[in-house]
Structure 1
Amino acid sequence: MALIGYARVSTSDQELQPQLDALAAAGVDRVFAEHVSSTSTHRPQLAAALDYMQNRVGDVLVVVAIDRLSRSLIEFATLMERFDKEGLAFRSLTQPFDTSTPEGRMVTHLFAMFAQMERETISRRTRAGLESARAQGRVGGRPFVVTPDLLESVLHLKTLKKTHAEIAKALRISERSVSRAVAELRRAGSLS
């Protein structure tokens, strides 16, 4: 049986070292670590850890906390089901999760539900805050900067009957940015 560690932080300004230290202290044999959001579907180091554990009955995936692995109950339950089928286990260092026992499996699923509920609560609060800010006339996000060069390029491509998708691809901007530039051109009377 090998202990395989997985460490993850969501942003580049967060530090992996505390997780790596905790995993080393727990005696993990190998660690896979990455900087990526848990909501991202592309987590190459998690995929590498799971590939490494394939056909290694008895191995245990160890994380510092359950939210380092997943915040989605569905994804977490799917992983636990896969582990059961492949004879693998899961352990969290800071929470009482050890799926090598029936009790541990039950506790793991209960806490995964609480983690999902917490995430949904945070999301609901964030949406409420954004709606409140909008009602007060504040808009978040990066401001759209319309440069004369961008407007000229969009105007040229629009006169060539290019679609918004084609213009966005050619100028390496979003389709929404193209729409905003087109609206600006129409306001200025350059496009009909």
Structure 2
Amino acid sequence: MARYGYARISTDEQSHDPQLLELKREGLEEIITDTVSGRIPAMERPGMSVLLNRLGQGDSMVVARLDRLGRDTVDVMGLVRSLTENGVRVRILNIGIETGTPNGQLFLTILAGFAQFEREIIRERTRAGLEAARQAGKRLGRCPILTSRQKKHVCELRQAGRSLAEIAKIFRVSRSTIWRTVQCGR
């Protein structure tokens, strides 16, 4: 009956340290880590794959937080169901539940649903904010590389017979930027 810890961060700019600290406080020596987005299904994460191959009946997988298992309810519940069917318990430290009990299973299902609901609300607010910015006339995305005056000059140089590569070198931009400028100028 081995106990394994699992810690996941989404980007290299983040740190595993807070999760590792919690897992070590729990007395875990063997901790598997991943640096991969939660959008990637659990079975496709390198560290998770290693852990899933090690886990056997009677073992436990311990995570610091529920969202470290996955981003959506379907993925998290599928992973937990698969582990439970194989006799593996999942313990989530920050909410103090373990899937080996009916209460733990129920609580986990409810929490996973709320986590997904919260992500959907955030996504909806982001979309609404972007739409409001567009309606207010704000330009979204990267600033144009070339000014309107430079774009006009690009078109004049192209009409004078200069190649895309030559023009790109003059303006210190890529050929594709020049090509798009010339296409829009038609």
User: What TM-score bracket applies, with the shorter chain setting the length?
Assistant: 0.7 to 0.9
Residue 169 of structure 1: aligned partner = none
Report deviation, 1:132: 1.2
Equivalent positions of 1:7-156 (< 5 A) are: 7-41=7-41, 42-53=44-55, 56-143=56-143, 145=145, 152=164
Amino acid corresponding to residue 88 of structure 1 in structure 2:
V
Alpha-carbon displacement from aligned partner over 1:93-138 (angstroms, at most 9, x marks no partner): 1113200111111111111111111111111111111111122233
Amino acid corresponding to residue 24 of structure 2 in structure 1:
A
Counterpart of 2:95 in 1: which secondary structure? coil
- Contact map agreement 1:2 1:28 (CA 8 A) in 2: no
Closer/same/farther in 2, CA of residues 134 and 2 from structure 1, 3 Å limit: same
Is 1:186 paired with 2:183?
yes
Is 1:5 paired with 2:17?
no
Counterpart of 1:13 in 2: which secondary structure? coil
Alpha-carbon displacement from aligned partner over 1:153-190 (angstroms, at most 9, x marks no partner): 6xxxxxxxxxxxxxxxxxxx9xxxx6x7654222344x
Question: Where does the alignment leave 5 or more consecutive residues of structure 2 unmatched?
Answer: 155-162, 166-173
Q: How far apart, CA to CA, are the structure 2 residues paired with 1:103 and 1:84?
A: 14
Closer/same/farther in 2, CA of residues 122 and 90 from structure 1, 3 Å limit: same
Counterpart of 1:94 in 2: which secondary structure? helix
Closer/same/farther in 2, CA of residues 182 and 40 from structure 1, 3 Å limit: farther
Q: How far apart, CA to CA, are the structure 1 residues paired with 2:66 and 2:140?
A: 31
Closer/same/farther in 2, CA of residues 181 and 44 from structure 1, 3 Å limit: farther
Count of matched residue pairs: 163
Residue 159 of structure 2: aligned partner = none
- Contact map agreement 1:3 1:27 (CA 8 A) in 2: no
Percent identical: 34
Q: In terms of Rg, which structure is larger? A: 2
CA RMSD of superposed structures (Å): 2.7
TM-score, with normalisation over the residues of structure 2? 0.76
Counterpart of 1:91 in 2: which secondary structure? strand
Report deviation, 1:44: 1.6
Q: How far apart, CA to CA, are the structure 2 residues paired with 1:86 and 1:110?
A: 22
